[in-house]
Structure 1
């Protein structure tokens, strides 16, 4: 009987500790996800940059029109949007524009990103 009480007490302690860990976990702000600090849209030029979680360029300003990307960002292998509420419309030289929603990663799969527009809309609607 005593061992059952100890086991129950241990289980309750474990559950309590687990609950504490969950409640203190980072929020979805993605402050350091993939090495990209909030509130940025980070570009990883090569797969090696992506694997190292080392972005090569980052953008954070909302604009009324597209911004041309720097050479450190244009043609990137991957793009991550660490913003919580703002979408990033990515323009491709060889395909249609895409919305990169908040806290979302995109591997470009051979499509060449050349411009960005950060928008005050999670779905990039005008």
Structure 2
């Protein structure tokens, strides 16, 4: 079963889990260096599940995803597929933090190749249930896959 969540859902959940920690961190930054606080807050807001904007991040295992530890990141728009390396091939989860580019993932299952879209600001988990991720193509498609 594939489970996807929009970034707004993830951000809401992340906000609930980390609001106290973030408030303490921003308060500390404000006391130490008032001009650094807006940059720190913007940086934290741009990261989803440990994946910074504007990347498509791969998490090799569910543990990597739970720890918010991407094992590979891609950001180049390409005309064709890029082959995935050992830190992304066969990943458990993929996060697309890009705001106007979709990520098309090439999958292989039982010798058959198919493509799956991870849309703008989206998360795809349980990828391995659909097949083995073997390639990525980031495409400029503001209307979605």
Note the alpha carbon deviations across 1:39-96, whole angstroms, 9 max, x for none.
Answer: 0000000011000000000000000000000110000000000000000000001152
Residue in structure 2 matched with residue 45 of structure 1 by the alignment: 60
The correspondence for 1:54, drawn from 38, 62, 69, is 69
Q: Distance in 2 between matches of 1:31 and 1:40?
A: 10
| Matched residues, number | 98
| Alignment pair present for 1:86 and 2:106 | no
After TM superposition, the structure 1 = structure 2 runs for residues 1-126 of structure 1, keeping only pairs within 5 Å, are 31-94=46-109, 96-107=114-125, 108-110=127-129, 111-122=131-142, 123-124=144-145
Q: TM-score, normalised by structure 2?
A: 0.63
Q: Distance in 2 between matches of 1:35 and 1:60?
A: 15
Q: Which structure is larger by alpha-carbon Rg, 1 or 2?
A: 1
Instruction: Say whether the 8 Å CA contact 2:76–2:138 is kept in structure 1.
Output: yes
Q: Give the SS at the match of 1:70.
A: coil
Q: TM-score, normalised by structure 1?
A: 0.72
Displaced runs of 4 or more, over 4 A:
none
**Structure with bigger RCO (C-alpha 8 Å, 6+ apart):** 2
Q: Distance in 2 between matches of 1:79 and 1:33?
A: 11
Any gaps of 5 or more consecutive residues in structure 1? 1-25
Instruction: Say whether the 8 Å CA contact 2:90–2:128 is kept in structure 1.
Output: no
Any gaps of 5 or more consecutive residues in structure 2? 1-40
Structure 1 or 2: more helix by fraction? 2
Q: Give the RMSD, CA atoms, in angstroms.
A: 1.9
